[in-house]
Every structure is written in C-alpha cells, then in structure tokens.
Structure 1
C-alpha cells in the first residue's frame, strides 16, 4: 500500500486520535478502507459542498469504477450493494425515499413520542427491579441498546422474539472487524429473516410501517422490486437502531463525565435538545459512512482532483471537531455552545429521514434517566472501550452506579 495512504484501523481503539490524524492531513486525504482506497473528507464546509454537488452519487452500481470487484470480496460490500434510498441516485433516490417519507412527518413523529416515553419508563422500571443498590449497571446493555431496538421493532411490527437476533445481526453489519465470509453468513441470515417477515406481513398486514411498505410495493405494480422492498426494511431497522444507541450512550457518557454541563440543564440554562445536538456534534454516532462516488472528475479548491469513479468517504466524527468550524474548544463538550450545527445525520438530498425521531429518542431517554437517577455517577470500575468499528462511534458498555437519594432529598 502507498505510504501516503492512511489505513483506517478496523478496531478503532482511538477514534479521537484517528480523527485528529485525518484532519492534520488536510481537508481531504487518501485512506485505505479495508483494502478499498477512498478520498476521506474531514472539513465540514467541503462535505456540505460535495453533498450538494450533482456530480457526487451514492450509487456504487452506477458510478463506482471497481464495483464488481468490491462487492465480490470486500467485507463492507453490503454498504454499497443494497438497493434502497441509501445507495440510490437521482430519480431512483427520490422514488425510494418517497415510499418511507410519510412515516416520518412531523405529525407521525409527534404521535410516536408517547410510545418512546412508555418504552423508556418500562426499561427504567426493569432496572429498578433487577439492579443491586450500589452495584454498577451497564447502561448500554440495560437501556441504550434496548430502547431503540424495542421502538424500531414496534414501529416495523417485528415480533418480539426476533429482537435479540435482529440486534446481533445489525451489530455485525456495523462492525469493521468481521471477515468477508463472516459478513456474508450474517447477511444471508438477515435476508432470510426479512424475507420471512415480508411474507408474514403480506399475509397478515397490521398497523405498522412494514405492512405499509409491503402494500406500497404491491401497489407499484412491479416498479419497486422485492429486493428494494427488503433492502428498505434493512435500512429502516439497522439505521434506526445503531445511530440512536450511539447517541444515547455518547450523550450519557458526556453528561456523567461533565457534571457541570448536566447542571446547566437542571438549572434551566440549557435543554435536553442542547445536550443531544452537542453530543451529535462532538461524538457523531456514525464516524465514517461508506461511500459516495464522483460521476465526473471534480476539481477541489486545493488543486486535488477526485477522478470519475473514485470513492469518497464522509468523515462525520472528524468533521464534528473541526476547529475551523467550531473554534479552539471544538473537542470540549459544552451544552451552552452557540454553534452546534453538525453533519451527524448527513446533509442535502440524503439527509436522514429519521433524524427527528432519533433526536426525540435521545432527549426522552436522557431526561427520563437523569430524572429517575439524579445522583447517578460513572462507576469507578468503568473502562472506556470503543466498539470495534470505524463506522460506529460509541462505547461497548457504560458502567453506572445509581446512587440512592440522600435522606430527605426529594430531587
């Protein structure tokens, strides 16, 4: 490999350090992504321009120069081979996006708030009933991972007995430490599950998003393929799960390690929305998102030329701490920060449809937890261990001691 190409570490033991190294190489640099070379972009201004550029596509099938070889051997092939709005371009993207857009209107999002609140209360009741006072609770396993999967599965109508299986298969997709063979086996299992699920909903439709998508596919009279339907379900389930887990975990860790920032919320100087936005900026749940592609040669301001067919890797977590955008304190977690806009949910035509719901889940999960356990603290035994992925950016666990209220304290 060319020494000028920076190889991303698939275990991602130091997300902050790797992001800093990428930024130090300039706003755009060559990286090795498990054997595929790409242009990594870390400057938020450059990312916004590229996201709006009609010469930049997410369709590997149409615009990746080496598509066939990549999908044949690359461990992350699913990220570029799925057929849904995530990898679509132009009119195909607009058509596929329209299918699920109705599920994420402001009215539908507002109607889902009580469901999220109910799930959060149920999970906190479970913690109350099962934890030993004074002993650490892993907030990731008990709360941050359970809330999003319970919600997305209720939204999709997925049977409760499949929740753990879906959660594991989603973890494999986002990991960058599995071999091509392991990824293929996991994907085959996931597609079998989704195909059976579609068949079930076709025979027994309900009041859920999957039934609505199946009906929309059947009403399209063949213009929406069965694979596009299945891949749309795959996108809804995995994206709706992983990003929200990271948001809740990262924000929880930030508040537990910055009690003065939590104090701003409790004093009314900041809101839970401020917490969510600052955590998304500082610790984007998706660090790097494979891939986009140049349709034609693209000339950049520094003289770099992205050749037609070249892969482009948006680096969201590196962009979130860019000092040119956020100042000298970009690494700090500050809920009163004025400029908290970020790219954690993308930008432009591919802006995440589920962003309002993810924000709501994060704010509800955090507010309910810290209201229930106002004296929670990070356990002395906690070890900060990132998930082994240069796609996901979060922790494997978050050990918290749920301190009881001092005698006579009603707060």
Structure 2
C-alpha cells in the first residue's frame, strides 16, 4: 500500500470510543476520533461492546481500504457477528446490512448489481435532466415567493428537501400520489436514535411503498429507472429482493445526500457573506461552493459498514484489521483532515485549492452513482435561490440550528430563514 505521513503507530489500547447516536456534534466527534489515529476502535449505537468495529478517519487510508480486494460490504458473507446471529434482531441500523443491493455487495456481485443502475445514471442521461431540474427549482421558488419578506420559512422542508425528492421521483417514475408517503418514510432510514419499535416499523413502511411503486410500474411501465429495473428482474438479472433493495438504495442515496448538501451550502453562504458575494458576482461561481461544501460538511458523515474478508494489515499505518472486523468510514472526519486540507481545514473557504479532493461521494468503484446528479442539482438550486432572493438571511443564530438525530446523515432538522424583500 502507498505511504502516508501519519504515524505508523496503531491506536493505543483502551476503552473503545462510543459513537453518539444522536449526532449532536458530528465534527467534535470527528476531531476526537482523528486524534486517536487513522482508524480507531468504536462502539456503534445498539451493538454490544464485544463486536469489533473501527471508525476510519484518514483519507489516504480510506482510499486504500475502499480499493482493497479483501474489504467487503457483504455482512451476509463476511461479518461473523451477523452470520452467527450475534447482531440483535432489533438493532436500529440493521437495514443498512440486511439489504441486497450495490451498497452491500462484494466483488462480482457488486458489479452485477451496480450495472443496471450505472446506465440509468450515466453522465449523458443525468445532464439531459437539466431543464427538468431547472423547472422543478423555479416551481418551488415560485411557491416560496408567496411568503412575506419577514415571514419565517423552513427552507429545508420547503426547498432543500423537496427538490431532490421531486427529481429522484421523476427519475424513478414515482406517481405523484406517492410523493408525500416516500418523503415521510425515507428520512427515517437515516435516523440513528430510533427506538427498536420505530426502527422495526421504518423498513416495513419503506418496503410497502416500494411494492406499491413496482406494482404500479408493472401495470404502467414508462421510460424511467423503476421500469428498467423491473425489466432487469424479468430477464433474470435481479431477484425480486434485489429489485426492491436497489430502489431503496436509489431513493435513499439519491435524496438524502443532496438535501444535506443544499442545507449546508445555504447555511455556509448565509454565515459567510463575503463568500456569498464571490459566488453571486461570478468571481468564483457555484461549482467551488458545491465542492467546498462537500468537503467541509460531508452530507453522509459516516457510512456503515464494511468488513475485513481476511486479515488486512495496512503497511503505511501498521494497523491490522482482523478477519471479520467491521469498519465505518468517517467522511466527515476525512473532509477536515489537516494534512490534506491544511491548518484551516475546519473553515469554509470556496477558494480552497484542495476542495475537490474530498471523499464525500466515496471513491473508485464505490463512487456514488448519483454524484453528478447531486452536483448539477446543487449548482442549479443555489444559483436560482440566491438570484431570486438576494436578501435571504437566517432567522436564527447559527448555534440555534439543530442537527439531525443521526451520525450517518449530516444536516439540520430545520433551516429557518427570512426571504427578505425582492430586488426590483
């Protein structure tokens, strides 16, 4: 493996770090984890202390692990605690390892399950959606314009949340009467402080909606991703479970990441007016805003889980992952690595030269299929929002913004703003 400037000493022995299920201070936690080494032992919420788990925070190590042939995403094959029934049946995060889709597959299975999705999210097809994304954006802004200039508006629920949902629903061919149901169900997949009862109910509801969508598209197929996946099932490329779980992946990943990206981009620009001026004046533009937001506030703070299919020793750090160890990849910590991004890594700076060198969308064969779509949506949405409402401002102080109850999803529960008077 390639060299690293980090210490070659493995983390010292001691009590594993307990991950906060409520996600109350994602970056404070990320800083604490980074100080313990490139990877450190942690205890995930809802799991016994005896189940070995690592949080990987160093970007160089993350890249090596994401491309290592012996690092798997398949709990069904490579997580002994899961295979042996040690993982509690009511573990609130169990759906993240139960699913059978490209997110949880290994080796050739990963390529097989990713292939029908990759065609649907090719750069050409995604860029062709630009007029549709622009139309949805302006419709949502038209609706916002009905609010008074000093009325408090939750921009997360009315804009940042709705835009990606409407876009992904259009791509998947979700009928309009199912939009609100999907909106209510999807967010709960990323909550990591649910009770066992709430966690059990969430996937049940999601699969009910997936079944309803598939049934509808079987009756009325169209030029959409769901119809394409149904055709792949009929041709034997996907099982019924893989069909459903692929849709879970697309609806969840295609929505939540972009919501949090918009949420944090808006928040950072409103709290850094000098940088907002650079973007709106064309001095910097919107692409650097998007990339620096992805680095500074990775929308998916931590992704779970990967597993050591065999013992893996990282030569650069000296860390050994024992066969069967579980790994959580901490993108929030990696985005603020000072060796990669300098001593100001905690600061939001759209002129930062290393901004695009982030891992917010994964890496190599595990790069998020929706990365280009999220970037296009964000650039369109931010430019249109700040053009329409140039006097937009937060209705609360930044410290009053409440984080999502999740260590996976990095965003705010609400984004209260005042739109301000329109410029004639």
User: TM-score, structure 1 length as denominator?
Assistant: 0.95
What is the rounded CA distance, in whole Å, between the counterparts of 1:185 and 1:401 in structure 2?
36
What is the rounded CA distance, in whole Å, between the counterparts of 1:350 and 1:282 in structure 2?
21
| Moved >3 Å (runs of 4+) | none
- 8 A contact 2:38–2:317 mirrored in 1: no
Q: Which residue is 1:326 aligned to? A: 341
What is the rounded CA distance, in whole Å, between the counterparts of 1:83 and 1:328 in structure 2?
41
Deviations 1:298-322 (A, max 9, x none): 1123332110010011000111001
What is the rounded CA distance, in whole Å, between the counterparts of 2:366 and 2:139 in structure 1?
34
- 8 A contact 1:205–1:211 mirrored in 2: yes
Deviations 1:243-268 (A, max 9, x none): 11000000000000001111111332
Q: Secondary structure at the match of 1:332?
A: coil
Quote the offset at 1:166 in angstroms: 1.2
Number of residues of Structure 1 aligned to a counterpart in Structure 2: 403
- 8 A contact 1:281–1:344 mirrored in 2: yes
Q: Which residue is 2:38 aligned to? A: 27
Kindly indicate whether residue 258 of structure 2 is the aligned counterpart of residue 244 of structure 1.
yes
Quote the offset at 1:111 in angstroms: 1.0
Kindly indicate whether residue 63 of structure 2 is the aligned counterpart of residue 48 of structure 1.
yes
Q: Which residue is 2:311 aligned to? A: 297
What is the rounded CA distance, in whole Å, between the counterparts of 1:266 and 1:284 in structure 2?
23
What is the rounded CA distance, in whole Å, between the counterparts of 1:192 and 1:378 in structure 2?
38
Structure 1 stretch displaced more, 151-160 or 71-80: 71-80
Kindly indicate whether residue 289 of structure 2 is the aligned counterpart of residue 275 of structure 1.
yes
Kindly indicate whether residue 229 of structure 2 is the aligned counterpart of residue 213 of structure 1.
yes
Kindly indicate whether residue 32 of structure 2 is the aligned counterpart of residue 4 of structure 1.
no
Quote the offset at 1:37 in angstroms: 4.0
| Aligned partner (choices 110, 121, 133) of residue 93 of structure 1 | 110
Deviations 1:23-74 (A, max 9, x none): 1111110011112541101010110011111010111111111113326232
Structure 1 stretch displaced more, 147-156 or 33-42: 33-42
Q: Which residue is 1:371 aligned to? A: 387
- 8 A contact 1:71–1:78 mirrored in 2: no
Deviations 1:103-141 (A, max 9, x none): 111210111111111111000000112x12212211101
What is the rounded CA distance, in whole Å, between the counterparts of 2:397 and 2:154 in structure 1?
11
What is the rounded CA distance, in whole Å, between the counterparts of 2:233 and 2:292 in structure 1?
38
Q: Which residue is 1:169 aligned to? A: 185
What is the rounded CA distance, in whole Å, between the counterparts of 2:204 and 2:402 in structure 1?
29
How big is the alpha-carbon RMSD for the aligned residues of Structure 1 and Structure 2? 1.4
Kindly indicate whether residue 352 of structure 2 is the aligned counterpart of residue 337 of structure 1.
yes
What is the rounded CA distance, in whole Å, between the counterparts of 2:108 and 2:267 in structure 1?
41
Q: Which residue is 1:14 aligned to? A: 25
Q: Which residue is 1:258 aligned to? A: 272
What is the rounded CA distance, in whole Å, between the counterparts of 1:143 and 1:207 in structure 2?
26
What is the rounded CA distance, in whole Å, between the counterparts of 1:17 and 1:105 in structure 2?
37
Unpaired runs of 5+ residues, structure 2, are 1-12
Deviations 1:147-169 (A, max 9, x none): 11111111111122222221221
* Structure showing the higher helix proportion among its residues: 1
Quote the offset at 1:353 in angstroms: 0.8
What is the rounded CA distance, in whole Å, between the counterparts of 2:26 and 2:255 in structure 1?
21
Deviations 1:262-317 (A, max 9, x none): 11113322121110000000000000000000011111233321100100110001
Kindly indicate whether residue 411 of structure 2 is the aligned counterpart of residue 397 of structure 1.
no
Q: Secondary structure at the match of 1:289?
A: strand
What is the rounded CA distance, in whole Å, between the counterparts of 1:160 and 1:205 in structure 2?
15
Quote the offset at 1:3 in angstroms: 5.5
